[in-house]
Amino acid sequence: MKIETKLEYFTTPLYLESGRILEPYQITYETYGEINSDASNVVLVCHALSGSHHAAGRYEGDQKSGWWNGLIGDGQAIDTQKYFVISSNVIGSCFGSTGPMSNNYPSNQPYRLKFPVLTIKDMIKAQKQLLSNLGIYHLKAIIGGSMGGMQALQFAVDYPNFADKIIALATTYATQPWTIGFNKVAMEAIRRDPRFNNGQYEKDAFIENGLDGLAIGRIAGHISYLSPDSMSKKFGRNYVSNDGLFELFGRYEVERYMEYNTNNFSKSFDPMSYLYIVKAINTFNLSRGYDSLYDAILRIKAQTTLISFKGDYLFFPSEMEHIEIMMQRNQQNIDYYEIESDYGHDAFLVELDKFEDIIKQALEDEQ
């Protein structure tokens, strides 16, 4: 599989949903496979909150593969022998695209809290501009899970003739109070950490030791990404063997897991980007800008495949089923699958064997 990582610069303004302008800006993206002569084999893959453009393969000297490595590649469900796959880092993120810690042109100082609030609409508008710059004006498919699924659905509504197929996993039509509540824990933990200093920290300030507020907030995120069943199977009531049961800060294995993963995350992800992306997730609502959700959904022309997971406690299957019911009533082209899973929201990243054939078939089906 041929992998290339590139950076695209834009000097034309990006008009945001808030009314503000982002200018200039840049997007980091990765491509897999080869584009065919008429550019009819292009698949856009959209990432979730903590993801990046690195969706597949492994960098030299890196121990960790891309976040959907088991799904994208030669002979895999998203077959790079057939499709030219593009995965871009969303604006607002901290992996190469313009975000709050980028320099606020023409100064050499970061935007920090002067960075404009972004929405999912803004993210896909920037990606569409990226594709135009690459000479790509139509897509075979757009695929994404969680926040990536939000992007796929937003593309389907805002640009109904842009893609033949939309495949959205573990997502929703509008972020619900339950999820916003979980996100609030992370946002407040970051804001109240003294080292966050109201955003007045230096670039890469937390690479060595992380930010405690982000680590704590990420614990709430991890709980929402898993499920009671998956946590019981993974950890049970096992106690860390070298921690005393009657020590106040002695830990169960689930506690040690949360500490380890969230501490590492807080060293690699910028807290300001986390705040901005969570805000974009919280404000996601397909009906905004249209008279109703019905009118928004009615705009979808692409062959649509929705995949939910029974154990998902972040975006419940009923939320995706609501989209499916509306599209069926409208006699739109829709396939809906609810996957049996105890893993939780993260099933879309972990239990690939349960849905890879669905994605493969959806890509191969003729409209």
* Banded model confidence at residue 102, pLDDT cuts 50, 70, 90: very high
In the predicted structure, residue 367 carries a pLDDT above the cut 70: no
- What's the pLDDT at 57? 93
Answering whether pTM is above 0.75, one says yes
Each residue of 147-204: pLDDT tens digit?
999 999 999 999 999 999 999 999 999 999 999 999 999 999 999 999 999 999 999 9
Mean predicted lDDT score pLDDT of the chain:
96
Residue 114 burial (C-beta neighbours within 10 Å; 0-12, 13-18, 19+): exposed
For range 126-141, the mean pLDDT: 98
User: Which is nearest to 147 in space by CA: 351, 357, 354, 349?
Assistant: 349
Point out the catalytic residue in the list 146, 227, 266, 341. Answer: 146
The rounded distance, in Å, linking the Cα atoms of 336 and 90 is 27
Over range 323-335, report the average pLDDT: 97
Mean pLDDT of 297-301: 98
- Give the C-alpha separation, 313 to 321, whole Å: 15
Q: Which superfamily does CATH assign the domain made up of 3-175+286-364 to?
A: Alpha/Beta hydrolase fold, catalytic domain (3.40.50.1820)
DSSP 134-154: TT---EEEEEEETHHHHHHHH
Delimiting residues of CATH 1.10.1740.110 domain(s) in the chain:
179-280
Question: Quick one: fold of 179-280?
Answer: Rna Polymerase Sigma Factor; Chain: A (1.10.1740)
Over residues 93-118, the mean pLDDT reads 96
The pLDDT, as a whole number, for residue 61 is 74
Tell me where in the chain the CATH 3.40.50.1820 domain(s) lie: 3-175+286-364
Alpha-carbon torsion, ordered 189, 195, 200, 204, to 10 deg: -100
Does position 248 have pLDDT exceeding 90, yes or no?
A: yes
Per the residue annotation, which of 122, 312, 341, 346 is the catalytic one?
Answer: 312
Does residue 95 contact residue 52 with C-beta atoms inside 8 Å?
Answer: yes
Task: State residue 365's pLDDT score.
Answer: 82
- pLDDT at 62 > cutoff 90: no
E strands along the chain, which residues? 3-10, 14-15, 21-22, 25-32, 42-46, 72-73, 78-79, 84-88, 139-145, 163-169, 303-309, 334-339
Under 8 Å CB-to-CB from 194, ≥6 apart: which residues?
none
Looking at residue 261, what is its pLDDT? 87
| 50 assigned to active site | no
| Catalytic member of 266, 273, 345, 346 | 345
Examine the residue annotation and report whether 345 is marked as an active-site residue of this protein.
Answer: yes
Is pLDDT above 70 for 86?
A: yes
